[in-house]
Amino acid sequence: MQLNKRPTDKQNQKLDLKSVLTLATTVLLGTTHAVNADEPSTKDNWSFDSAFLYYGEGDRVTAAEGIIAASKTFNDDKRLNLKLTIDALTGASANGAVAQPNVQTFTRPSGNGQFQVAAGEVPLDDTFKDTRVQFNAQWTQPIAPDYTASVGAHISKEYDYLSLGVNGNLAVDFNQKNSTFSVGMSYFLDTFEPEGGIPNPFTSVGTNFNDDDDDDYKSRQLADDDEYQGTRLTDSDDKTTIDLMLGFTQVINRRMITQFNYSYSMVDGYLTDPFKILSVVNQAGLTQDYLYEKRPDKRQKQSLYAQAKYHFDSTVLDLSYRYMWDDWKINSHTIDSRLRIPLSSNSYIEPHFRYYQQAAADFYQPFLQQADPLPKFASADYRIGEMNAYTAGIKYGMTLQGGNELSFRLEYYSQRPTSAGHQEPGVLADMEIYQGVDAIIAQVSYSF
């Protein structure tokens, strides 16, 4: 009886979703393996992973991100992976200026209008809004016994940003496939076209470009103003990133596998953030001016990464450590751990803990002092300052009938910027200079 059981409507729906996606993928690729009810094996070759993620910082940034990834294994272990990512960002982020005992007025980064920040509040620019679409394709295949090659392409587009990338990787297995050595390289070309153009570093942001007092300050079109245009360099700028990676994977025994990577990254071009500014304060700590930030046009990063996975009787431990250092004098330690605990034959929970510690860039400073000469480079972006960050989360996953997987993930991320020893003159001693960020991350994933 069991063999003759007809599929239920629900099962049909699931099959239909997969069929539609399979058909869409094959049509897009122009392959001739169209979905055919008589060829269930062909149809089953495509597998899909999808996820929706919500990221919320409360009164700051909120992001929603959706991913769908399709993969298919062809004859001879040739593999194609395709991934589409769409995300939307909205909310407020710190613009770099310090809090003051009085109300502060800022020109929006686009030059269109101004906004005010209350006394004692860390200035947040609330014009942060963007939608991004990203597409990745990766082809992997064996090229000789024990040799696997992989090539990929990446394109990401948002309103004011375009990123194009290619990558290649070669892996060699030896010692009965217990050891793998890999070498990889990637190249990215990113173009930034911020609304209002690229600001001239260290020029005054200013707040009174337009002298027409009849205008409501919120509706001023500063982009047409000559004085405003004097603070702009060009409409767009770009940067290139070359990444090199050497990897070594080693099976230790039946229960344990390890990985070690060395990465070198060279970023060249426009690395300044056009939306970030610095307050210039006097000896009383009161803001006298705001200047656009300025970063070097080169950055060399290196990192060492080690990971171990251990299979206990039923639980699996995933432990990793990364040390990163660069020529901006930033260095960081990251420890990440996950423990997958089975609850039954088809469900599990996975607690996750991550710790991150970062030392500041040598040109990071929370504000500029009027009495000091202008440094060569300066940024008050807390993300290149000194900080500790923690992530604690839990994932619950289950295997559904038919082998499809459904999982839920809930995490809490806390960033705690700390002082790298900058003295705070006058009123700044009573202001919050290093404000923390707390975020909730919620995710649903479905694989079919």
Partner 1 sequence: MAKRQNIMNKFTIQSSLLTATILLTGCSSLGVQPWERDLLAKKEMALTASPIDAALDDHIYFSKEASSGGKSFGGGGCGCN
Q: 39-78: which residues touch partner 1 (CB under 8 A)? A: 49-51, 53, 55, 65, 67, 69
C-alpha span between 367 and 285 (Å, rounded): 10
Contact pick of 19, 85, 229, 282 for partner 1 (by CB under 8 A): 85
Listed residue (424, 442, 444, 446) closest to 99, CA to CA = 424
Contact pick of 107, 265, 279, 365 for partner 1 (by CB under 8 A): 265
Give yes or no for residue 186 binding partner 1 (CB under 8 A): yes
Residues 340-379 that bind partner 1 (CB under 8 A): 340, 348, 356, 358, 361
C-alpha span between 131 and 63 (Å, rounded): 10
DSSP string, 40-97: HHHHHTEEEEEEEEEEE-TTS-EEEEEEEEEEEE-GGG-EEEEEEEEEEEEEEEE-SP
Give yes or no for residue 124 binding partner 1 (CB under 8 A): no
C-alpha span between 86 and 401 (Å, rounded): 29
State the chain's maximal CA–CA distance in angstroms: 89
DSSP string, 401-442: TTS-EEEEEEEEEEEEE---S----GGGGGS--S--EEEEEE
Give yes or no for residue 217 binding partner 1 (CB under 8 A): no
Going from the C-alpha of 71 to that of each of 36, 148, 249, 408, the distances in angstroms are: 18, 17, 23, 22
Contact pick of 316, 398, 410, 420 for partner 1 (by CB under 8 A): 316
Considering the complex, state which of residue 155 and residue 429 has its C-beta at the smaller distance from partner 1. 155
Considering the complex, state which of residue 153 and residue 284 has its C-beta at the smaller distance from partner 1. 153
Contact pick of 135, 305, 353, 434 for partner 1 (by CB under 8 A): 305
Contact pick of 135, 161, 202, 396 for partner 1 (by CB under 8 A): 161
Give yes or no for residue 110 binding partner 1 (CB under 8 A): no
Segment near partner 1 (CB under 8 A), from 38-46, 212-220, 248-256, 282-290? 248-256
Residues 13-32 that bind partner 1 (CB under 8 A): none
Listed residue (327, 263, 275, 288) closest to 104, CA to CA = 288
Give yes or no for residue 158 binding partner 1 (CB under 8 A): yes
Count, residues near partner 1 per rule CB under 8 A: 84
Residues 128-147 that bind partner 1 (CB under 8 A): 130, 132, 134
Min separation Cβ 433 and partner 1, Å:
18
